[in-house]
Amino acid sequence: MRILIVDDERPARDRLRRMLALEAGIDAIFEAADAHEALRCLPACQPDALLLDIEMPELSGIELAASLPEPAPLVVFVTAYDEYALRAFDANAIDYLLKPFDQARLRRALDRLRERLAARSHGKTAAAAGMPPRQLLVTERGATRVVQVDDIEWLETADNYVVLHTAQGAPLLRQTLSGLLAQLGESFVRCHRRAAVRVKAVERIVPLDKGDCELVLRSGAVAPCSRQFRPALMAALGNNPDKPFIQE
């Protein structure tokens, strides 16, 4: 595992580096004194995870986490302030280390990182082999939720996340829409710049002005479809034995 420490205080970086050196499976440790330096070194360092301070000059750790390019490294926040915990987990943090912490607490955070990296690697392997994943792991306020792909009706972008619209709710997955569609395969098709739909979930197509339309799904939910993506959608629906009704 390759780790980038981001903290504006040199003693804090030194202490964390010494603690990491005691742990197995750490292949490389890098340091950055602020968020801007961290962003600059990402291409060369290619870290699997960031151990990220929150209160830093100019750009905070939470702002940095929201600015990470895809595919984004995992994030563990390391801070002396507990009031940021909710915002940290809203930023899809894997863990939240409150200073001062001991070796055992750091080890638990590293174990969580290893579990998430293993799950991410499995998803990439399955996609590379042409096997779409059957479930997705979503982190919500520190807990990991399993979302069955078969339960997802449509997908919608929301900043650095994708909303997974299901009958059980709409959890947020930190991912790009194009990256997620590459994993899910042909069962989903893009219907809008910011949306994609499960082909078999479409029940009715309602035309709108200028070639746009609305997709009424089997649950009653409605997804947008722009004229730019309508031909590809119609082609995908044409291969579906349960063709939707087109409302004129």
Closest CA to 202 of 167, 248, 245: 245
**What CA–CA distance (Å, rounded) separates 124 from 182?**
10
Q: What is the mean pLDDT of the chain?
A: 85
Greater confidence (36 vs 142) lies with 36
Cβ–Cβ under 8 Å, residues 223 and 204:
no
Over residues 111-126, the pLDDT tens digits come to 989 988 887 776 665 6
User: Mean of the pLDDT values across residues 95-100?
Assistant: 87
User: Mean of the pLDDT values across residues 92-118?
Assistant: 88
Quote the tokens at residue 133: 């994943």
Instruction: Identify the pLDDT of residue 248.
Output: 46
Cβ–Cβ under 8 Å, residues 26 and 20:
yes
pLDDT at 241 over 70: no
Most confident of 16-20, 79-83, 183-187: 16-20
Cβ neighbour number for residue 102 with a 10 Å cutoff: 8
- pTM, rounded to two decimals: 0.54
Specify the DSSP class assigned to residue 113.
H
**What CA–CA distance (Å, rounded) separates 233 from 196?**
9
Compute the residue count for the chain: 248
Over residues 58-93, the pLDDT tens digits come to 888 888 887 777 778 899 999 887 776 666 666 667
Cβ neighbour number for residue 241 with a 10 Å cutoff: 5
